[in-house]
Structure 1
Amino acid sequence: MKRKTQITLTVTLDENNTPEDMEWSAPDGGVKEQSMEAFFLSTWDKDAQESARIDLWSKEMPVDQMQVFVHQTLIGINASYLKATDDTQMGEAMQQFCDFFASERNLKDIKKRN
């Protein structure tokens, strides 16, 4: 039986339409009004054969955290690509880029902040 569920993104904007606060909820997954500093959302239009994106981050998000976020997102994209295509050759190339990105940005030195 089909059923629908919702994932909700709530963005509070300042007077310049810059994100100040962002939250997401996924009631079926036990997530309610979870604060976040950034999100990248991609969708696929099968008729137009193109993706659409919404990339938002709060004005308070530090650059070092954005670098970590982008790196982790790239790793996740690679994992999704491998799962969907089983293209290990491209997956290895993408992983090499992820490793290069981390090395160039010295991400191994970034510590989790309290």
Structure 2
Amino acid sequence: MKRAEIKLIVDLDDNNIPQNITWESTDSANKDAVPVKSFMLALWDHNYKNTMRIDLWTNDMPVDEMKRFFFETLQTMGDSFLRATGEKNIVEDLRDYCAHFADKMDISPK
């Protein structure tokens, strides 16, 4: 069995606000920690039948990039849901919502 480790490093200020976030993986060709401005981690707890989440972003994450980050996360969640369930109709509804979200946030692809 192969095993990979994903490591997230969060540097906090005195008020516990993320200042820097980096990530690295043992399964990556790039062995250096990669800086990022935000991440969302969702884990399914089978025993309690609920989702555990960690959403963090640095204090200098631009709002326009946060809007794009949410849009792209919603889009890729649809891709994952389709692969996991085959539920094409509801994924099309999610894609419609994503288009609406992008329009309302003024981030629609040109």
Could you state the TM-score of these two structures normalised by the residue count of structure 2?
Answer: 0.94
Whether the aligned pair in 1 keeps the contact of 2:99 and 2:108 (CA below 8 Å) is no
Alpha-carbon distance, 1:3 to partner: 3.0
Please state whether the residue corresponding to 1:99 is helix, strand or coil: helix
Q: Are 1:3 and 2:2 an aligned pair?
A: yes
Where does residue 90 of structure 1 map in the other structure?
Answer: 90
Report 1:61-80 matches (<5 A): 61-80=61-80
Runs of 4+ in 1 over 4 A off after TM superposition: none
Measured in 2, the distance between the counterparts of 1:109 and 1:7 equals 31
> How many equivalent residue pairs?
109
**For 2:41, what is the secondary structure of its paired residue?**
strand
Secondary structure at the aligned position of 1:28 is classed as coil
Aligned partners of 1:15 and 1:5: how far apart in 2? 32
TM-score (norm 1): 0.91
Is there any run of 5+ residues in structure 1 with no aligned partner, and where? none
Equivalent residue, structure 2, for 1:28? 27
- State the distance in 2 between where 1:30 and 1:51 align: 30
Gaps of 5+ in 2: none
Q: Which AA in structure 2 matches 1:40? A: M
In the TM superposition, residue 62 of structure 1 has moved relative to its aligned partner by 1.0
Of stretches 93-102 and 22-31 in structure 1, the one that deviates more from structure 2 is: 22-31
Contact 2:8 2:24 in 1 (8 A): yes
Contact 2:67–2:105 (CA under 8 A) maintained in structure 1: yes
Shift of 1:5: 1.7
Could you tell me which amino acid in structure 2 is paired with residue 11 of structure 1? V
1:46-79 CA distances to partner (integer Å, 9 max, x unpaired)? 1111110000000000111100000000001000
Q: Read off the aligned partner of 2:3 and give its amino acid letter.
A: K
After the TM superposition, which of the residue ranges 29-38 and 62-71 deviates more from structure 2? Answer: 29-38
SS at match of 1:54: strand
Question: What code does the residue aligned with 1:93 have?
Answer: D
Q: CA deviation at 1:109?
A: 7.0
Is 1:107 the counterpart of 2:103? The answer is no
Q: Tell me the percent identity.
A: 32
